[in-house]
């Protein structure tokens, strides 16, 4: 009898252990995998002193796509354009016409257009890749609240580091373009207007008010320096905020109703991606145009036109008399 009792006890213990292991396995299988849209880009590959994030990987993919497209189009350029060449010619002609409306000069537009169209395509493809189905591929890692899904691709423009880098390139490039266009001295005088202070000693006899106007003009130039940093902030946060908000909107709608509801918002975000890329490119053209404009030369031309107009009126009066 004692042997039978021992066998029953062993069987019961084995059954208990089996039930525990099966429940643990079920718990691990049922454990949810969360996917949260974070403000920062998630790392996907780690090296010793360098980490590749999904936003950086997407930016590299975008650069590769642009290079491949440029090489293919360059090899297949024909006098009688095909469908793809005709499409890009329409885009380029429309972009140049849009630049002309800002610069009022086709010569200046041809100088600015290459960097503007490059920024446009880089931002546009980044915006679209951020909401593409390829974002469904990624890694599953242990997070603070359980398993977390990290996508391989995240729109580079949904990362503040990328948008700040683009903004710095736009603003710094505009000032370098200004130096090449109107000279270093005139570019510096836009911000540190030493010429205005010098006018106090040269024009004070003819214009006594210069002693008040010149310091104000000098400090306005210093405000322009703060304005350059404001341009970087406005460009970067506008682009980052709109693209990140679109991704959060799509994720939120997909959680509420995963099938039909996200479709209109998906097409809306495609349109938003085009608009944001266009806004950034147009502002870049504006900054380059302003930096390449010699305000003193404009004033001189206005004075000449004013004098010419007065002379023409005098001549007309003499003729009529």
Q: Which two tokens stand for residue 104?
A: 């009022």
Supply the pLDDT for residue 28.
Answer: 45
Q: Which two tokens stand for residue 319?
A: 């003729």
Burial code (b: 16+ CB inside 10 Å, e: under 16) for 51-71 equals eebbbbbbbebbeeeeeeeee
- Cα–Cα distance for residue pair 194/214, rounded to 1 Å: 9
User: Would you say the C-alpha torsion 256, 258, 264, 266 has a positive or negative sign?
Assistant: positive
- For the CA atoms of 221, 226, 229, 234, the dihedral, rounded to the nearest 10 degrees, stands at -100
- Cα–Cα distance for residue pair 255/87, rounded to 1 Å: 37
Write down the pTM of the prediction.
Answer: 0.74
Burial code (b: 16+ CB inside 10 Å, e: under 16) for 18-48 equals eeeeeeeeeeeeeeeeebeeeeebbebeeee
- Cα–Cα distance for residue pair 305/32, rounded to 1 Å: 74
Supply the pLDDT for residue 135.
Answer: 56
Longest dimension (CA), the chain: 144
Task: Walk along the chain (321 residues) in steps of 10 and give the mean pLDDT of each run.
Answer: 48 48 42 60 77 85 92 83 84 91 90 93 90 62 59 81 93 93 84 72 72 75 85 92 84 75 82 92 94 63 42 47 48
Domain boundaries, the chain: 33-320
Supply the pLDDT for residue 149.
Answer: 59
pLDDT in tens, 90-131: 989 999 999 999 999 889 999 999 999 999 999 999 998 877
């Amino acid at each position: 009898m004692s042997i039978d009792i021992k066998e029953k006890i062993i069987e019961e213990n084995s059954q208990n252990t089996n039930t525990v292991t099966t429940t643990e396995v079920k718990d691990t299988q049922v454990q949810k995998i969360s996917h949260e849209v974070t403000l920062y880009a998630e790392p996907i590959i780690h090296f010793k002193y360098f980490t590749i994030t999904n936003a950086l990987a997407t930016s590299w993919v975008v650069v590769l796509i642009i290079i491949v497209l440029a090489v293919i189009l360059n090899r297949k350029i024909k006098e009688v354009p095909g469908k793809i060449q005709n499409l890009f010619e329409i885009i380029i002609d429309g972009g140049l016409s849009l630049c002309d409306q800002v610069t009022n000069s086709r010569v200046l537009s041809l100088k600015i257009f290459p960097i503007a169209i490059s920024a446009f395509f880089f931002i546009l493809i980044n915006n679209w890749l951020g909401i593409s189905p390829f974002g469904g591929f990624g890694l599953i890692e242990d997070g603070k609240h359980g398993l977390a899904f990290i996508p391989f691709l995240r729109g580079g423009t949904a990362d503040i580091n990328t948008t700040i880098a683009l903004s710095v390139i736009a603003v710094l490039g505009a000032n370098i373009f200004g130096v090449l266009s109107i000279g270093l001295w005139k570019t510096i005088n836009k911000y540190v207007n030493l010429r205005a202070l010098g006018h106090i000693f040269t024009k004070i006899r003819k214009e006594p008010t210069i002693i008040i106007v010149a310091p104000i003009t000098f400090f306005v130039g210093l405000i322009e320096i703060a304005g350059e940093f404001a341009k970087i902030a406005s460009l970067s946060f506008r682009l980052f905020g709109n693209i990140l908000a679109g991704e959060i909107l799509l994720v939120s709608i997909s959680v509420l109703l995963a099938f039909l509801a996200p479709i209109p918002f998906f097409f809306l975000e495609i349109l938003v991606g085009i608009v944001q890329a266009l806004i950034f490119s147009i502002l870049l053209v504006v900054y380059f145009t302003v930096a390449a404009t010699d305000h003193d030369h404009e004033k001189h031309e206005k004075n000449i036109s004013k004098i010419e107009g007065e002379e023409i009126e005098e001549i007309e009066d003499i003729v009529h008399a």
